[in-house]
């Protein structure tokens, strides 16, 4: 399906924008208690996670300082997986311990960190 390759820049930009938006929503839940979440600013670890997710998500979505924001976000998701999910239910398998979202965010952020802002980013 070679004809799809002409859409790669558009598809990548959409991936970056949607991922950044959803990541920022997770941060907004932790920071502001919106979107069905509860404010977690009383817990220092959750406060830092919320800031990284919200600010990192916004930066990734708009394509500003994309590589560094995505790299930090990827690391934060790796830490989240190994400190929260990896020990749940006695399993390191993400589908069994509820960590599949943390894992996919980690690797999508890592990919974005290597690729940059793409076609529709503020900063090339």
pLDDT in tens, 8-46: 999 999 999 999 999 999 999 999 999 998 999 999 999
CA dist 18 and 22 (Å) reads: 6
Report pLDDT digits (tens) over 69-89.
999 999 999 999 999 888 887
Q: How far apart are CA 22 and CA 14, in angstroms?
A: 12
Sorting pLDDT into bands at 50, 70 and 90, what band is 1?
Answer: confident
- Dig out the tokens for 89 from the structure: 């239910």
Predicted TM-score of the model (pTM)? 0.92
Q: Are 66 and 16 in contact (CB under 8 A)?
A: yes
Q: Which of 55, 83, 72, 81 is nearest to 110 (CA)?
A: 72
User: Rg of the chain over CA atoms, in angstroms?
Assistant: 15
Per-residue confidence (pLDDT) for residue 89, from 0 to 100: 77
Q: At what angle do helices 8-32 and 44-62 cross, to 10 degrees?
A: 150
> Which structure tokens are listed for 88?
């749940």
Q: What is the pLDDT of residue 124?
A: 64
Q: Give the mean pLDDT of the chain.
A: 94
């Amino acid at each position: 399906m070679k004809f799809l390759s002409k859409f790669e820049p558009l598809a990548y930009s959409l991936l970056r924008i949607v991922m950044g938006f959803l990541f920022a929503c997770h941060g907004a839940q932790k920071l502001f208690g919106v979107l069905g979440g509860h404010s977690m600013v009383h817990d220092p670890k959750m406060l830092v996670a919320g800031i990284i997710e919200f600010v990192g998500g916004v930066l990734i979505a708009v394509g500003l300082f994309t590589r560094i924001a995505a790299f930090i976000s990827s690391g934060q998701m790796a830490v989240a997986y190994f400190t929260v999910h990896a020990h749940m239910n006695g399993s390191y398998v993400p589908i069994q311990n509820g960590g599949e979202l943390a894992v996919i965010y980690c690797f999508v952020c890592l990919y974005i960190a290597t690729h940059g802002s793409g076609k529709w980013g503020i900063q090339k």
